Homo-oligomer: A and B are copies of this chain.
Amino acid sequence: MSVVALIEFDPASGAATGHRLADADAALLRVTDLGATRGDGVFETASLVHGHVQALEAHLERLVQSARMLELPQPDPAVWRAAVLAVGDALTAEGVDEGSIKFVLTRGVEGGSVPTGWVFGTAAPDFTADRTSGVRLVLLDRGFRHDVSQTSPWLLAGAKTLSYAMNRAALREAARRGADDVLFVSSDGYLLEGPTSTLVLRTGPRLITPRVDLGILAGTTQADLFAWAEAAGFPTGYELLTPADLAAADAAWLVSSVRHVAPVRAVEGVERAIDAELTERFNEALDARTA
In the complex, chain B residues whose CB is within 8 Å of the CB of A159: 165
> Given A141-B151, A142-B155, A143-B143, is A31 in contact with B28 using a C-beta cutoff of 8 Å?
yes
In the complex, chain B residues whose CB is within 8 Å of the CB of A33: 29, 36
Partner of A148, one of B37, B40, B143, B156: B143
| CA of A155 to CA of B170, assembled, Å | 7
In the complex, chain B residues whose CB is within 8 Å of the CB of A38: 39, 162, 164-165, 167-168
A106 nearest CB across to chain B (Å): 8
Q: Which residue of B lies closest to A215 (CB)?
A: B143
| CA of A40 to CA of B161, assembled, Å | 12
Partner of A154, one of B31, B104, B173: B173
A110 nearest CB across to chain B (Å): 9
| CA of A41 to CA of B168, assembled, Å | 11
A263 interface contact, C-beta 8 A: no
A143 nearest CB across to chain B (Å): 4
Partner of A143, one of B144, B161, B168: B144
> Given A163-B164, A172-B71, is A32 in contact with B24 using a C-beta cutoff of 8 Å?
yes
A232 interface contact, C-beta 8 A: no
Which residues between 1 and 55 of chain A lie within 8 Å of chain B, taking CB atoms? 2, 4, 24-41, 43
A118 interface contact, C-beta 8 A: yes
Interface size on A, residues (CB 8 A): 56
A169 interface contact, C-beta 8 A: yes
A133 interface contact, C-beta 8 A: no
Taken together, the copies of this chain in the complex come to 2
Scoring A residues 219 to 262 as 1 if CB is less than 8 Å from chain B, else 0, what string do you get? 00000000000000000000000000000000000000000000
A128 interface contact, C-beta 8 A: no
A120 interface contact, C-beta 8 A: yes
In the complex, chain B residues whose CB is within 8 Å of the CB of A152: 140-141, 143
Most central of A26, A118, A140, A168 by chain B CB within 10 Å: A168
Contact (Cβ within 8 A) B154 A170: yes
A81 interface contact, C-beta 8 A: no
A70 interface contact, C-beta 8 A: yes
Partner of A162, one of B26, B32, B37, B71: B37
A145 interface contact, C-beta 8 A: yes
Contact (Cβ within 8 A) A165 B104: no
Contact (Cβ within 8 A) A162 B39: yes
A268 nearest CB across to chain B (Å): 15
A187 interface contact, C-beta 8 A: yes
Q: Can you sample 11 A-B contacts with CB below 8 Å?
A: A2-B32, A24-B30, A24-B31, A26-B30, A28-B29, A31-B120, A39-B161, A140-B152, A143-B143, A161-B165, A162-B163
